[in-house]
Amino acid sequence: VRGAPKGVRIQGVDGLLVRYAQCCQPVPGDAVVGYVTRGRGVSIHRGDCPNLLMLVHEPERRLEIDWTELAGQRFMVRLAIEGHDRRGLYADVATAVSATGTDIRSFELNTTDGHVSGAVAVEVENLAHLQKILKSVRRVKGISEVARRERLAGQGS
């Protein structure tokens, strides 16, 4: 994407190649930072992304980023899920996500010795939407943990 992707404003910069980092999957509402890459333009990361540690030694590559108003844009986020297996658990997790008006893009839960673990990839509008999904899934009987996962499977930063 040439120029800032829809939804972000980069202070003092125009015309650069800009992309959202897959390592931390920023969504509107997250504190974000731009990182000027070598040969790949600007990568937008969450402020708490471990990959930003490299900026400590190269602060000149850091750019201030602000979210702008978005209409209908969605961002892929992967949720890590843990729990105790029971009949209907998978269906209840899918129902909890769908009840928030959220599209599920992938759903992979595995059961070993009564323990369920896996991930669900969803499309969210912003941080408040993500928090609504997390709250809904946490209420499912048998789910012990659900959290935002740092990286989508098969994707680099």
How does pLDDT run across 113-155, given as a tens digit for each residue? 999 999 999 999 899 999 999 999 999 999 999 999 865 444 4
Q: Is the pLDDT reported for residue 12 higher than 90? A: no
Whole-model pTM above 0.85? no
HEC secondary structure over 41-98: CEEEEECCCHHHHHHHCCHHHEEEEEECCCCCCCEEEEEEEEEECCCCHHHHHHHHHH
| 8 A C-beta contact, residue 144 and residue 86 | no
Closest alpha carbon to 46 in 29, 71, 68: 29
Q: What is the pLDDT of residue 35?
A: 86
8-state DSSP, 154: T
Q: What is the pLDDT of residue 95?
A: 97
Phi-psi region of 98 (alpha: psi -120 to 50; beta: other; left: phi over 0): alpha
**pLDDT tens-digit map of 35-91:** 888 887 888 899 888 888 877 788 888 888 877 755 567 889 999 999 999 999 999
**Homologous superfamily of 75-148:** ACT domain (3.30.70.260)
Average pLDDT of span 20-33: 88
Confidence bin at 7 (pLDDT 50/70/90): low
Report domain extents, the chain: 8-67, 75-148
